[in-house]
Structure 1
Amino acid sequence: MPNARPVPTVRRRRLGEALRQLRNTAGPDNAGLTLEEAAGLLAKLDTEAGREKSSWTSPKLSRIENAQAHIRPNEVTDVLTAYGVTDPEVYSALEGLAKHAGNKGWWQTYSGLVAPAYADYISLESDAERISEWAPQLIPGLLQTAAYARETIAVNATTRTPQEVTALAEVRMARQAVLSRPERPLTLWAVIHEAVLHQRFATRPTLMRDQLRRLLDAADLPNVTLQIMPLHAGPHPGTSGGFSLVGFPGLMPAVVLLENLVGASYVEAVDEVKIFANAFERILAAALPTDESLALIARLEESTRT
């Protein structure tokens, strides 16, 4: 999983990007505002509110949009008011993001073990409304059994002790709570390559049977959709590698996570995220339909019993 801290944090970058988008569509005829015009409107709000001195300048706004400066929830309210935003959901989402940007979550219990960038991703996952994941090499983490998680973490985290591997598997299991949380359970749409389902673990012959059963059980959840990319599939954009497209409520821009052996990177530019969204649609089209996918998983699960 990620092991290098994104600087600044992804949460702060999401907030800055959302505010930039709003500024670019504010003003008369939605023609957008320059930084100088936006700062002027905010300074006017300060004057009307009886504040003696305004702190709003175009450099300050630029730093906020580029995630180089912190913004308080009440300042977010002022910015949205200046931009003419009336949607209460936008206010709630962006004020909440500013308020909780620095909050610590349950994963902080594992500080020193969970790398900062991994913690950053878990925070995004906890905020997310939906995740679209293309998994050509491993079962998605949100659908893994504890045994599968331990085995696959041990293979990739070669510098970790057995105790650390177990703890990291616990973290992965705890992450799965987003699928069954009482309010707004995460919607997961995962496409898994068929080759992943044929993996076997020599020292744990029942491991894959349990993992396949876990997939079938997860597919019963109304917020989980599974498709399998068959071995005989033709060329598709997924041949470039796996990715997770993380979407958020309301105006919040989506983020793409890319992972490899040495860490992870985020794709956040709107136009680049759209490339992955379009690629995922084409991956869905190349994969087996959901009913055929589940039938295939069931057949493979049955074959592990013989």
Structure 2
Amino acid sequence: MPNSPLTPTIRRRRLGAALRRLRTDAGMTLEAAATAMGWKSPKLSKIENATQAIHPSDVSALLTVYGVDDPTVVGALEGLARDAGKRGWWQTYSGVVSPSYADYISLEADAEAIHSWSPLVVPGLLQTAAYAREVIAGVTTTRTPEEVAALAEVRMARQSVLTRPGSPLELWAVIHEAALHQRFTVRPTIMREQLRRLLDTADIPNITVQLMPLDSTAHPGVLGSFTLSSFPSPMPPVVLLENLSGAAYVEGDEATPFAKAFDRIRATALSVEDSLARIAEMEEGHRR
């Protein structure tokens, strides 16, 4: 009995795109590759388009057909097939976590490095719980206080990727200085605590924070925020773009301009040392 269509997840889409790229690199048509596997071509088409799952052992067999024997590549793609439909801890919050947000959390969990340009708010992976609650409550128009609290819990739980054993996520965040001038009238100490949190990250080897000063020259970041996630080979990078209507993803070669833009953004920003000094000055100002 054929597999029923599946709702594509970001993991399944990444796997399908990688398999399509390797087939193309091998110079094989869809029909030829499917025939070599003893399949009909629609099955392979569905796998590449992320509407049908593929067993890890079939991934290995397909890579053999494509002449790919690098154990790192084989292991990475088998693992992606194994985890494509896996339920993560965030499923416990399915009542408040949208499918697109769940996709991003799984992406974040798989990433080895994230480069974040954040002109308006502190990135979620560096937020304090109090700051997260205030920001989530401020931007939502439909969430109840209970849902806001749950989403803040999710944001705090996401931060575990920064301290995961063996391979903590490498985070490089560039934050516009304007974001750190945000005021919270109900709890004026929120920003001071958030500034302290940013300073504390200076002692964590896998986290780098820079500030874009108010008087910076023009740079690609003026066009908006983005988050670039990188993965172990052979998986291509993925860019997250967010706005009020939801999230959109830019994958594969189309992510290259964002990588180049981030290089220019961090070159325009203050150095790490000057950034931390500026943050320390701002934190001290909140104490007066």
Among residues 184, 188, 207, which one is paired with 1:224 in the alignment? 207
Q: Shift of residue 208 of structure 1?
A: 0.6
- Letter of the 1:38 counterpart: A
- Letter of the 2:104 counterpart: Y
Q: Does 1:281 align with 2:269?
A: no
- Letter of the 1:39 counterpart: A
User: Partner of 1:39 in structure 2?
Assistant: 34
Gaps of 5+ in 1: 1-5, 27-31, 43-53
Q: Shift of residue 58 of structure 1?
A: 2.7
User: Partner of 1:127 in structure 2?
Assistant: 110
Please list the CA deviations of residues 185-240 of structure 1 after superposition, one character each: whole Å capped at 9, or x if unmatched.
00000000010111111111111110000001112111001111111111111011
Q: Does 1:12 align with 2:12?
A: yes
Measured on the aligned residues, the alpha-carbon RMSD in Å equals 1.3
Gaps of 5+ in 2: 1-5
Q: Shift of residue 156 of structure 1?
A: 1.0
Among residues 77, 90, 94, which one is paired with 2:77 in the alignment? 94
Q: Does 1:139 align with 2:122?
A: yes
Please list the CA deviations of residues 14-39 of structure 1 after superposition, one character each: whole Å capped at 9, or x if unmatched.
0011111211222xxxxx22222322
- Write the distance in 1 (CA, Å) between the matches of 2:105 and 2:85: 13
- 1:204 counterpart SS class: coil
Among residues 88, 95, 115, which one is paired with 1:112 in the alignment? 95
**Deviates further, 276-285 or 142-151:** 276-285
- 1:267 counterpart SS class: strand
Q: Shift of residue 285 of structure 1?
A: 1.2
Q: Does 1:180 align with 2:163?
A: yes
- Write the distance in 2 (CA, Å) between the matches of 1:13 and 1:161: 33
- Write the distance in 2 (CA, Å) between the matches of 1:219 and 1:81: 45
- Write the distance in 1 (CA, Å) between the matches of 2:86 and 2:51: 18
Q: Does 1:243 align with 2:226?
A: yes
Share of identical aligned residues, percent? 65
**Deviates further, 270-279 or 189-198:** 270-279
Moved over 4 A (4+): none
Q: Does 1:297 align with 2:279?
A: yes
- Write the distance in 2 (CA, Å) between the matches of 1:96 and 1:9: 15
Q: Shift of residue 7 of structure 1?
A: 5.2
User: Partner of 2:152 in structure 1?
Assistant: 169
Please list the CA deviations of residues 38-60 of structure 1 after superposition, one character each: whole Å capped at 9, or x if unmatched.
22433xxxxxxxxxxx3x23332
- More RCO (CA 8 Å, sep 6+): 1
Q: Shift of residue 133 of structure 1?
A: 0.4
- Write the distance in 2 (CA, Å) between the matches of 1:65 and 1:162: 41
- Write the distance in 2 (CA, Å) between the matches of 1:8 and 1:108: 16
- Letter of the 2:106 counterpart: S
User: Partner of 1:149 in structure 2?
Assistant: 132
- Write the distance in 2 (CA, Å) between the matches of 1:133 and 1:273: 13
Please list the CA deviations of residues 99-120 of structure 1 after superposition, one character each: whole Å capped at 9, or x if unmatched.
1111111111111111111111
